[in-house]
Amino acid sequence: MSKIYLASSWKNAELVKYFKGELQANGHEVDAFCDPEAGRFVFSFDKLPKVEEMNAQTVLQESIVKRAFYEDKKWLDWADTVLLILPAGKSAHLEAGYAAGAGKRLIIYQDEFPAGDFDVMYGFADLITSYLSEVIDFLKTRRMQVSIAQLPEHEFERLDEQITVYLEETDGEDGLNYEVAAALPPFLIGYTAAWNEVERLSAELERVQRSALQNLDLAVRSSRDITRLRNHLQETRNEMMKRQSFYQGEIRAIQKELNASLRQVAISWTPFPDIPLSEHTKYIVSDGRSTGFGYYYFEDEQHWTTEDMSPVDGPDVTHYAVINLPADGPHHE
């Protein structure tokens, strides 16, 4: 039968004692933290003076707390099954986690599981129930440690199959249902770990290869897009060059026509000192080498005045002409 450790809160002390009696009546050995039977040391924090002034660090320095810790751990190590009776606090949950990590069976009981009250780590439990009868039925299933050496023809590749066969051969010999936890030798554990690592790496390699193929396909498609863009850009450049050449030809034709029109305009020059027809009128003037614009003034001393930056100075004027436009003939400004 099973050795059961009851983990719970002091608020559930009466329920814990009831469970202990029912489980013992079904042939199980049971430890209850709140029952001093069989010489068990029973502890609660109300035995500490000034407990309200202590914290998680200082309380562990108390000798009575150390004794309580080692007492509970002793019974935890003794048990093969831990029954967590809810609601319970931190200590009971730590005990349940310790048991699951040690390979012990874990049962979680609560008379009613309210909506919204759950925890993902309850997945460690072998059974979660609201019925004591289900706990008793579950305890009829025995967990049996089987050495790999007991299995016939223990070839590595058929390990799972051989464990199943062995269980089928031993099932029901004493009227109990059996579970198995194969106790593998260290070399086989190492082999299994290595094989699992190989499978993991193979799966990772397959994932990387699949990702690489996807990236390669994306790269090929991106390369095609880039090629299309480059071709389109080149076509655009070619079209711009054609239009530029066309416009440059048009501009040259217009300039040629303009130059021809300008060459048809004849300037009628009048030698100076012939007096101009009017004063303060803008004329084209020349010194025989360059041309510019100037005005002739009838003051105390008649003279030519040319514009600033003009290549022709006033005293050097030898000829002048009336400014006229080709469209409307002679015109004085």
As given in the structure block, the two tokens for residue 146 are 């089987």
User: Residue 311 is encoded by which pair of tokens?
Assistant: 């290549």
DSSP string, 9-50: -GGGHHHHHHHHHHHHHTT-EEEETT--GGG-----GGGSTT
Whether residue 281 is found in the same domain as residue 316:
yes
- Of the residues 139, 172, 206, the one at which a domain ends: 139
Let me know if residue 301 belongs to a domain: yes
Q: How far apart are CA 247 and CA 253, in angstroms?
A: 10
For the record, the structure tokens of 65 come out as: 């707390």
Q: Please count the structural domains in the chain.
A: 4
Cβ atoms of residues 125 and 86 within 8 Å: no
Shared-domain flag, residues 280 and 244: no
In a domain, 264, yes or no: no
Residue the block writes with tokens 């005990």: 95
* Residue type for position 260: A
| Residue with the two structure tokens 């309580």 | 68
pTM, two decimal places = 0.46
pLDDT tens profile 45-69: 777 888 777 887 887 788 888 888 8
- % of the chain with per-residue pLDDT over 90: 22
- 179/122 same-domain check: no
pLDDT by residue (tens digit) across 221-255?
A: 777 777 777 777 788 788 888 888 887 777 777 77
Same-domain pairing of 298 and 231: no
Same domain, residue pair 247 and 323: no
Q: What is the pLDDT of residues 170-224, one digit of tens each?
A: 555 555 555 554 445 554 555 556 666 667 777 777 777 777 777 777 777 777 7
Between CA 315 and CA 306 the distance in angstroms is 9
How far apart, in Å, do the first and last CA atoms of the chain sit?
A: 131
Does 129 map to a domain?
yes
Residue appearing with tokens 């309200």:
52
Q: What is the mean pLDDT of the chain?
A: 77
| 127 in the same domain as 41 | yes
- Give the whole-angstrom CA distance, residue 106 versus residue 125: 5
8 Å CB contact between 333 and 282: yes
User: Are residues 160 and 208 located together in one domain of the fold?
Assistant: no
CA angle at 90 for the pair 85 and 91, rounded to the nearest 5°? 75
Quick one: tokens of 1? Answer: 């039968």
- Asked if residue 261 is part of any domain, the answer here is no
Same domain, 135 and 163: no
Q: Say if 27 falls within a structural domain.
A: yes
What CATH number should be reported for the domain holding residue 41? Answer: 3.40.50.450
**Full domain range(s) for residue 49:** 3-139
